[in-house]
Amino acid sequence: MKLKLMGRNMSIWNKQSITLPQLFSLFTARCSLLIVHCSLFIVHCSLSQPASPLDRVVSVEVRNERVSEVLRQLSQQADFTFSYNPAVVNDTRTVSVRAVRQPVRIVLGQVFEGQAVNWKVRGNHVLLLGEGEAHKAPTHFFLDGYVTDQTTGQRIAAVSIYERTSLASTVSNPYGYYRLKLARDLPTNARVEVRKRLYVAESVSVASRQSRTVDVRLRPVPVPALPATASAVAFTTVAVAQKPPLPKLSADTIRPAELPKTNSVDTTRRVESATVSQDTIQPRLHSSTTSVATVVDSSAAPKPTVWEQTRDALNETYQAARQLIHRQNLDADTLYRPFQLSLFPYVGTNHRLSNHVINHFSVNVVAGTALGLTGLEVGGFSNNIRADVRGIQLAGFANFVGRDLRGIQAAGFSNRVRGDAINAIQAAGFSNRTLGNATRFIQLAGFSNRTRNLTYGIQAAGFINHARTVRNGLQIAPFNFADSSNSIPIGLWSVVRKNGYRRFEVAANETFPLNVTFRSGVRLFYNLVSVGLLPSDGIGNQVWQAGYGVGTGVRLGRTWAFTVEGSGHVVWNNAMNEVTVSTGPSILLRGTPTLEKRFGRLAIGVGPSLVFFSNNLSYNALANTKLLIRDRPTVGSLPFTPDGWAGWVGWQVGLRLTN
């Protein structure tokens, strides 16, 4: 069907005939182009938004000025407004401040040094909160500050900052600022780790439990590595250009003290708390307004705008991006926990560092993720392990392992292992897959199993098994496939590509002068399918047969072999008209020992046959067929048992194409 579009202002379409598929393709292309333009517009709008008020750079130099005047200058320079309650925030107090091209938050820290004043950002507004407005009884404290490059002095974005005991973590923003919330009940030896790929790791002591500012300077990893004389330096640097490998777990029970250490950029240069500024790290919010300082009660804070609501929604996407940042920065760090509980990935006791923790016992109410497992993991829906599993994974739907499995996986639907499976079992309602090698391994699935190389193992599936190489293993399924095998696949049909047994044969026997048969599997056990034709019986009907069977064989030398086959065949005539009658088709059973002689890829197979035929009492498809044996009797003249069976000794000869 063609459409002809005509129009004065449609030069592209003018007098052209296009088909409906072409019209649909053009419509799809224009829709895709529109989506791209909209996406670029959204990205442009998001990137064009100004920096957070607290990260805008200002310069202030005042001496014995009121706080209100300082706030007014800050708001004018940085183009935002302050909101605060003068009954809580004393803006008549005088201060002296000198700051040259510093972020607003740093200046606020000087203005409210020693004061119980906190601040929050709402769009282009900074809310100043006094003691009692922001929090109840303090159970946490904060570390904040800027992360800068020691060499260039530039601030570094996307830096991972975390504490090992509580697994509290954060990521520096695009201006290098971070703010980390920590519990006051941390151990006395707690330290905060600072990690950035291609930078030397830093470790910050957390001696006190008071909020304060801690600025961190990171030193880039030198390339090439420092000479040997640099070993006298107080800290050691290891240059790593490539992403460090994930830690390998031993097969034995792993205790934290025995876990392997990674040789990456994990050497720390300690920043002692004594050298750290003791400024309160709670956001130092400043109180003043734009051109005219307006004093507003904090309860009357402006409501979020539409853009602010959209920004909050986009923040959820940013949280997912933070996980990618942690994965890039922290692959040199491995954490260990005896127990973890999570509702969803990253929503649990291991927080955003779940991907870097090896658990001994793990419970995921819905789904969860971790670096490794050394014991038991239970998931309501799914479990995901980035590296190795040494234990048991149980999931309602699916289990995923990023590297090797030593243990048991059981899932309602699917199991997947990207590495090797050794001394392991996979059991799933639908499918199992192991991309690596499998040794002493069992796969049980309702539908399919797949692995690379199977050694001393079993694959059992409701429909299909696949393996590249099977060594001393067993495949059991209706359909089995392997590139090579020295074992016996058991099923309705098996294919072994390289060293299997395959024969394509054109043959004749005493009943059907033309038969085409294909055999596949291994020599010790193979399957066959066959179709045969008798062009005309005694009264001119064509008679057909279709059969299936199994066989086994042995070599008798380089060119000789002996096989024994058993097969069952459906027999009908008159173009299958009789197959659908209520009595059903006739059945022919054939057992044939065959001697085979090879001539290159061609072979001749000859042997006798023992045949049993059933006419189903009321229908005999071969009644008028003359058998090519002594006296050439018709099948209908043979003596049948009361159950409708007859038998005879026949023959078979065929020309075979071998593999």
- pLDDT tens digits along 386-437: 999 999 999 999 999 999 999 999 999 999 999 999 999 999 999 999 999 9
Residues 273 and 206: beta-carbon distance below 8 Å: yes
What proportion of the chain, given as a percentage, has pLDDT over 90?
A: 42
Residue 256 belongs to a domain: no
Q: Residues 481-487: what's their mean pLDDT?
A: 93
Instruction: Assess whether 529 and 648 both reside in one domain.
Output: yes
Q: Verify that 275 and 290 share a domain, yes or no.
A: no
pLDDT at 184: 81
Residues 594 and 638 in one domain: yes
Q: Please indicate, yes or no, whether residues 277 and 291 belong to a single structural domain of this protein.
A: no
CB 362 within 8 Å of CB 348:
no
Evaluate if residue 45 carries a pLDDT over 90.
no
pLDDT of residue 312: 52
The pLDDT score that the predictor gives to residue 113 is 83
More confident residue, 259 or 210: 210
Q: Using the predicted structure, report yes or no on whether residue 201 has a pLDDT greater than 70.
A: yes
Please tell me the predicted confidence (pLDDT) of residue 224.
65
At residue 35, the pLDDT reads 52
HSE-CB for 57 with a 13 A CA cutoff = 4
pLDDT at 2 over 50: no
Final residue of a structural domain among 492, 518, 547:
492
Closest CA to 113 of 276, 284, 287, 273: 284
- Most distant CA pair in the chain, distance: 131
For residues 176 and 549, the model is more confident at 549
Q: For 410, phi and psi rounded to 5 degrees?
A: -140, 130
On the question of a cis peptide bond just before residue 224, with omega within 30 degrees of 0, the verdict is yes
- What total number of domains does the chain contain? 5
Both 514 and 607 in a single domain? yes
Whole-number average pLDDT of the chain: 79
Question: Is residue 326 one of the residues assigned to a domain?
Answer: no
User: Do 40 and 175 belong together in one domain?
Assistant: no
Tell me what the mean pLDDT of segment 512-534 comes to.
96
Please give the structure tokens belonging to residue 579: 């197959």
Q: Count Cβ atoms within 10 A of the Cβ of residue 239 and give its class: 0-12 exposed, 13-18 middle, 19 or more buried.
A: middle
Q: Are residues 66 and 123 in the same domain?
A: yes
Calculate mean pLDDT across residues 474-501: 94
Distance CA 510, CA 617 (A): 23
Q: Comparing C-alpha atoms, which of 300, 276, 255 is closest to residue 122? A: 300
Q: What is the mean pLDDT of residues 277-304?
A: 38
Q: 19 pLDDT band (50/70/90 cuts)?
A: low
Q: pLDDT confidence of 289, banded at 50, 70, 90?
A: very low
pLDDT at 525 over 90: yes
Highest averaged pLDDT of the listed ranges 172-186, 560-574, 579-593, 607-621? 560-574
- Please report the pLDDT score of residue 264 as a whole number: 36
Average pLDDT over residues 566-581: 74
Output the six-digit token pair for 351: 């927080």
Q: How far apart, in whole angstroms, are the C-alpha atoms of residue 416 and residue 401?
A: 6
Name the range with the highest mean pLDDT among 14-28, 187-201, 280-294, 492-506: 492-506
Is pLDDT above 70 for 538?
yes
Across residues 186-191, what is the average pLDDT?
82
Domain shared by 645 and 535, yes or no: yes
Question: How far, CA to CA in Å, does 167 sit from each of 146, 334, 335, 525, 546?
Answer: 20, 12, 9, 57, 68
> Is 244 among the domain residues?
no
| 3-state SS string for 592-648 | EEEEEEEECCEEEEEEEEEEEEECCCCCCCCCCCECCCCCCCEHHHCCCCCCCEEEE
Q: Which residue, chain included where needed, has tokens 């923790």?
A: 357
CB atoms within 10 A of CB 403: 21
- CA 512 – CA 336 distance, rounded (Å): 72
Whether the CB-CB separation of 79 and 290 falls below 8 Å is answered with: yes
pLDDT at 225 over 90: no
Higher pLDDT pick, 249 / 518: 518
What is the enclosing helix (H) or strand (E) of 28?
Answer: helix 20-47
Amino acid type, 274: A
User: What is the rounded distance in angstroms from the CA atom of residue 181 to the CA atom of residue 161?
Assistant: 11
Which pLDDT score, from 0 to 100, does residue 607 have? 96
CATH number of domain containing 565:
2.40.160.20
Which residue from 147, 141, 134 is spatially nearest to 168, judged by alpha carbons? 141
pLDDT (0 to 100) of residue 8: 39
What's the CATH code of the domain at 157?
2.60.40.1120
What pLDDT is attached to residue 642?
A: 85
Paired with 369 in beta bridges are 384
| Amino acid at position 235, single letter | F
pLDDT at 259 over 90: no
Residues contacting 541, CB < 8 A, separation 6+: 573, 574, 624
Residue 473 has pLDDT above 80, yes or no: yes
More confident residue, 88 or 465: 465
In a domain, 100, yes or no: yes
- Mean pLDDT of the region 333-343: 89
Q: How far apart are CA 651 and CA 609, in angstroms?
A: 5
Q: What pLDDT score was predicted for residue 246? A: 66
On whether the CB atoms of residues 497 and 511 are closer than 8 A, the answer is no
User: Burial code of 337-358, b = ≥16 C-beta within 10 A, e = fewer?
Assistant: beebebeebbebbbbbbbbbbb
* 307 within domain boundaries: no
- Predicted confidence (pLDDT) at residue 193 exceeds the cutoff of 80: yes
End position of a domain, from candidates 466, 492, 518:
492
Does pLDDT of 342 surpass 70?
yes
Same domain for 600 and 518: yes
- Strands, E, within 26-154: which ranges? 57-66, 81-84, 94-103, 117-122, 125-130, 140-149
- Most confident stretch, 5-14, 168-177, 430-439, 631-640: 430-439
User: Domain range spanning residue 587?
Assistant: 501-658
DSSP H or E segment with residue 460: strand 448-461
pTM over 0.75: no
Q: What is the pLDDT of residues 86-134, one digit of tens each?
A: 878 888 888 898 888 888 888 888 888 878 788 888 888 888 887 545 4
Residue 259 lies in a domain: no
Residue 315 lies in a domain: no
Q: In this predicted structure, what is the pLDDT of residue 18? A: 54
Q: In whole angstroms, give the CA distance from residue 158 to residue 167.
A: 18
| 152 part of a folded domain | yes
Q: What is the pLDDT of residue 556?
A: 94
Tell me what pLDDT residue 121 has: 85
Percent composition of the chain: helix, strand, coil (DSSP 3-state, to 5): 15, 45, 40
- Structure tokens, 556: 């008798």
Q: How far is CA 23 from the centre of its chain?
A: 38
Confidence of residue 565 (pLDDT cuts 50, 70, 90): very high
Q: What tokens does 590 get?
A: 């054939």
Q: Which residue has the higher pLDDT, 229 or 600?
A: 600
Question: Is-contact 282 211, C-beta < 8 A?
Answer: yes
Strands 347-348 and 335-344: antiparallel
Burial class (CB in 10 A: 0-12, 13-18, 19+), 91: buried
- Three-state DSSP class for residue 83: strand
pLDDT for res 205 = 86
Claim to verify: residue 392 and residue 540 sit in the same structural domain: no
Confidence of residue 14 (pLDDT cuts 50, 70, 90): very low
Would you place residue 203 in the very low, low, confident or very high pLDDT band (cuts 50, 70, 90)? confident
Percent of the chain with pLDDT strictly greater than 70: 74
Q: Would you say 368 and 352 are in contact if contact means Cβ atoms under 8 Å apart?
A: no
pLDDT of residue 576: 53
Alpha-carbon dihedral sign for residues 117, 120, 122, 124: positive
CA distances from 644 to 534, 585, 611, 626, 639 (A): 22, 13, 14, 18, 9
Arithmetic mean of pLDDT, 435-448: 96
Does position 37 have pLDDT exceeding 70, yes or no? no
Work out the average pLDDT over 527-532. 97
Over the range 511-535, which residues count as b (16 or more CB within 10 Å of their CB) and which as e?
Answer: bbeebebebbbbbebbbbbbebebe
Do both 146 and 270 map to the same domain? Answer: yes
Amino acid 231: pLDDT = 41
Strand partners, 474: 458, 488
Here the CATH number for the domain that contains residue 66 is: 3.55.50.30
Together in a domain, 96 and 202: no
Mean of pLDDT values over 250-261:
41
Sorted by sequence, the CB contacts under 8 Å of residue 277 that are 6+ apart come out as 212, 213, 214, 215
pLDDT, average across residues 229-245 = 42
